[in-house]
Structure 1
Amino acid sequence: MEIQNIKDLIGPLLKGNKKYLSHEQEKLLQVGENYGSVILKLVVYCEDENGKKEEHHCIAKLVPPSSYIQKIFKTKITFKKEIRIYDTIIPLLRSFGEEHGLKNLLPFFGKYIGSRISLNPKSVDVDNDAALILRNLSYDGYVVCDRFIGFNKETMELLLKDLATMHATTIGYKLQKPEEFNQKILPHFFGTMDWDYNDITIEKYQDQYGAVLEKDPNCSHLRQKVLHSMNKAGCYYGSKPREPFATMIHQDLWVNNMMLKFIDGKPISSKFIDFQIMAYGNPACDVLFLIYTSAQIDLLHLVDDFVKIYFDHFITILKNLHCDISNFTFEAFQNEMYTAATDFTFVHILYMLAITNTLTGKAKDITEMTGHEDCVVPNENLHELFYRRLLVVVKEFGRKGWIP
């Protein structure tokens, strides 16, 4: 998948009369680490006006080659959405923060270099020549953590505060500049990605999950309710916006979609990546999904503490943006948590547990996926963490009354 006309994508790298020389590319991720796009490691070589050569380390996101994957990920919609995050929404939110004296309010977004939806400049549709070029964060010291371990308490606190900042900043913009928000930001939250599993695929998942729940005395009584909930497979990725909390949500914040920088083992900053299915919806969806898919299992008894850390920082950001917080009570947010869980987030988490806990190298390459049945991971290809996390999630959601 050679990137055509790459010079048109790397304008910021060529400022100051720099000349493009060449580039190298190779596949960045192993099979099973990403499904919604092809991600390449990209090195661009340039030369300045004095003949000094430069080396720029980037990543390139391209549309998936599989027509099936393009269909279920609604690539013609989601690829364009991610571009709008970088070229429109992030600059607007950062400028809004600076207006309130908050420089570098959103440091957890990567550096944008360039993009296109087609080689045809007049096209309004995403095609197979679409591309998004970003800075390669690994060259800034950021790493993807081990998805089979999850995030420790200190890392979770950092990520939840960054998430709260993203949510609150968007709400602040909406409250203080409602007309601009409706004109410049809201239109880009168009479309949803409904994972419309067929009945055969749902039954396979139900058999797989049901067998695990039936054997556990703490979860067996919830088995039928869980299996009934799984019939709502086509409903997830469909958070409904509820005011006043409605905001920009990521909808897919798990270990692989966040990168961390550590110093002496301590997390100092994060980057959120992969915004293909971002939407305008309930922020509690992101909070629940992040915690239950990505916190270390032994920390899931701290869910209430994590939610409070998120909420307190959320309110702090709204105050710093000079917003009226009278409608943003903790009791009101707890209602959002219940709504998010029972609306679709429980189902979303359930189905993603198998995908996020597939053994390395055991997932099908996206070029080989031709139907929904390919999404069902055989038991022998699942990490033991899948079984442990499934039982904890079901038990905790059952205890809280969050199983729809």
Structure 2
Amino acid sequence: MSNLSETPPIQNLECVLREFLGSQLKIESMQWKHLVDPGENFGSLILALNLNVKENGKSENLNLIAKLPPKSEYLVDLFNSPMSFYKEIYFYKIIAPELIKFQIENGMKKSELIKLVPQFFGGRLGVKDGEKFDDQATIVLENLKVQGYDTEDRITGMDKEHMIFAIKQLARLHAIPICYKIKKPKAFKELIMPGLASIFNEATIRCVEDMINKAVNTLETMKEAQPYMEKVTKTIEYGASKIEEEPEEPWATLVHSDFWVNNMLFRHDKSGKIIDMKMVDLQLTQYENGCRDLIFLIMSSAKLKVIDESLDEMIDSYYSSFVDCFRTFDVDVKDFSREQFDKNLIESARRKLDQCLMMVQVIQATRGSARRVNDIKNKDNFLDMGRSKENDEKLIHIVETYARKGWLVG
């Protein structure tokens, strides 16, 4: 990483870091670069930072990432950046530490703690007023890539080993908040729920509808999709009709809502074995049934062959890890039967078909076809992603998988 003559697009970073690293912290030097390529992230600018800092006479080198809002007014509105940055800061600052504290309270040793997200180094909504959003909203996290973590390929998808590992971690993400809710209902309402509000606004809803329509229109041009189109339409309409319903208790929990390849990073040992995984982009967290995340993860992120050969095994792995986590916290699993889980899964699949279909155009977008974040000024710019053979194969595979499993309505 080399120093650039261009001024870093982040102001007064010291104030962000001081809350967590000490009030006397000074940044002695900074190197930075943009971290992700066009088409890999639209909701924020992501910078890799290499800092030399000094606090109370002690120097330290830090490898961090900083997330800032996109410089496009269209994208700020589309992603409801004031709300999404608030939510993600709230997650890292309040929810994640509270769930770690809960594990310790229940007897887990430091070496056993389930830490699913990167370390948080500070955040603000604005540079003039940390509680008022502006274009200097900032979230600072440890740079996982420097530690050997990396994402898998979004276009080819993940193999069975990576999928099972991710699914087990996802099950823990869902189970721990439920255990917390059962054991500490008042604290759950006061501390966890404020971070689970929806970020959807009118611009977001319109864009989602446009993306769904684009995916359906693509399917309608494909001969092999024709036998399923009536049921596909009915299933999407069914999901839309249920959007205002409250999630069923006691299954409702913290869900990621956007858990696909690019939002998880794996770490491997020298032999290639997976030894850890971290989740990122927590700005869409909601209070829903965890099966919603599971369905979207599988449909969006697994290789087609893995879905064909191991779908039931992946689902079984999720449920086993889910109930095992309950036992860790000495919570009775009688209200979380496999029979009800299977019903939840079908219902969640039907409500998630629209997201599974619409996100194909993002996940399978031809590399280099998407515009740079700062160049996206309107809907047409955003939706202008290259259609590919992989895009069409993924769309029809989702529909055929839904039909095979009986998840389509009608």
Change (3 A) 1:199 1:397: closer
Question: Once the two structures are superposed, what CA deviation does each residue of 1:375-404 show, in whole Å capped at 9, x if it has no partner?
Answer: 4345xx234322222121100112223234
1:70 aligned onto 2:76: yes
Q: Please identify, of 383-392 and 291-300, the stretch whose mean Cα deviation from structure 2 is larger.
A: 383-392
How far apart, in 1, do the equivalents of 2:29 and 2:242 lie? Answer: 43
Q: Is the alpha carbon distance of 1:200 and 1:77 closer, same or farther for their aligned partners in structure 2, counting shifts above 3 Å?
A: closer
2:319 counterpart of 1:311: yes
The 8 Å contact of residues 239 and 340 in structure 1, kept in 2 or not, is answered as no
For residue 136 of structure 1, what is the aligned residue in structure 2? Answer: 143
Is 40-49 or 194-203 further displaced after alignment? 194-203
Query: What runs of 5+ residues in structure 2 fail to find an aligned partner?
Result: 1-7
2:114 maps to 1:106 = yes
Question: 2 CA distance for matches of 1:390 and 1:88?
Answer: 38
Tell me how far apart the structure 1 counterparts of residues 264 and 344 of structure 2 sit (CA, whole Å).
24
Secondary structure (helix, strand or coil) at the match of 2:375 reads: coil
User: Is the Cα–Cα contact under 8 Å of residues 253 and 290 in structure 2 kept in the other structure?
Assistant: yes
Tell me the TM-score normalized by structure 1: 0.91
* In structure 1, distance between residues paired with 2:226 and 2:51: 55
Name the CA distance, whole Å, in 2 between partners of 1:227 and 1:234.
Answer: 11
| 1:394 partner letter | V
What is the correspondence of 1:118-197 to structure 2 with a 5 Å cutoff? 118-121=126-129, 124-193=131-200, 194-197=204-207
What is the aligned length? 395
Q: SS of the counterpart of 1:23?
A: strand
Query: 3-state DSSP class of the match of 2:374?
Result: coil
Identity of aligned residues (%): 29
Kept in 2, the 8 Å contact 1:195–1:234? The answer is no
Q: Give 1:77's aligned amino acid.
A: M
The structural deviation recorded for 1:29 is 0.6
**Is the contact between residue 255 and residue 293 of structure 2 (CA under 8 Å) also seen in structure 1?**
yes
Where does structure 1 lack aligned partners over 5 or more consecutive residues? none
Alignment check: 8 A CA contact 1:17 1:48 kept: yes
Q: Which residue of 2 aligns with 1:269?
A: 276
C-alpha contact 2:25 2:56 (8 A) present in aligned 1: yes
Q: Which residue of 2 aligns with 1:395?
A: 400
Q: Indicate if the aligned counterparts of 1:79 and 1:276 stay in contact, CA closer than 8 A.
A: yes
Q: Which residue is 1:335 aligned to?
A: 343
**Contact 1:232 1:347 (C-alpha < 8 Å) held by counterparts:** no
Q: Deviation digits for residues 82-131 of structure 1, max 9, x if unmatched?
A: 1111000000001101111224432221010000011233x643221210
SS across alignment from 1:196:
helix
The counterpart of 2:64, out of the listed 58, 61, 73, is: 58
CA–CA distance in structure 1, aligned partners of residues 283 and 241 of structure 2: 17
Secondary structure of 1:26's counterpart equals: strand
Letter in 2 for 1:75: S
Secondary structure of 1:166's partner?
helix
2:289 paired with 1:248: no
Give the stretch that moved more between structures: 280-289 or 140-149.
140-149
Counterparts in 2 of 1:234 and 1:35: CA distance versus 1, 3 Å: farther
Match for residue 225 of structure 1? 231
Match of 2:100 in 1: 94
1:75 to 1:233, Cα distance in 2 relative to 1, 3 A: farther
Residue of structure 2 equivalent to 1:370: 377
CA gap of 1:235–1:191, structure 2 versus 1, over 3 A, is farther
Q: Is the 2:68–2:139 Cα contact (8 Å) retained in structure 1?
A: yes
- The answer as to whether partners of 2:236 and 2:350 remain within 8 angstroms in 1 is no
- Go from structure 1 to structure 2 and tell me whether the alpha carbon gap of 1:54 and 1:71 turns closer, same or farther (over 3 Å shift): same
Residue 210 in structure 1 maps to residue 220 in structure 2? yes
Q: 1:397 to 1:200 in 2, by over 3 A?
A: closer
Separation (CA, whole Å) in 1 of partners of 2:293 and 2:403: 19
Deviates most, 148-157 or 321-330:
148-157
Structure 1 residue 237: Cα displacement: 8.7
Provide closer, same or farther for how the CA distance between residues 7 and 348 of structure 1 changes in structure 2, counting only shifts above 3 A.
same
Residue type of the alignment partner of 1:170:
P
Greater Cα shift, 97-106 or 127-136: 97-106
More off after superposition, 112-121 vs 28-37? 112-121
Q: Structure 1, residues 330-385: CA drift from partner, whole Å, max 9, x if none?
A: 11111111221222x1100100011111111111222222333334345xx23432
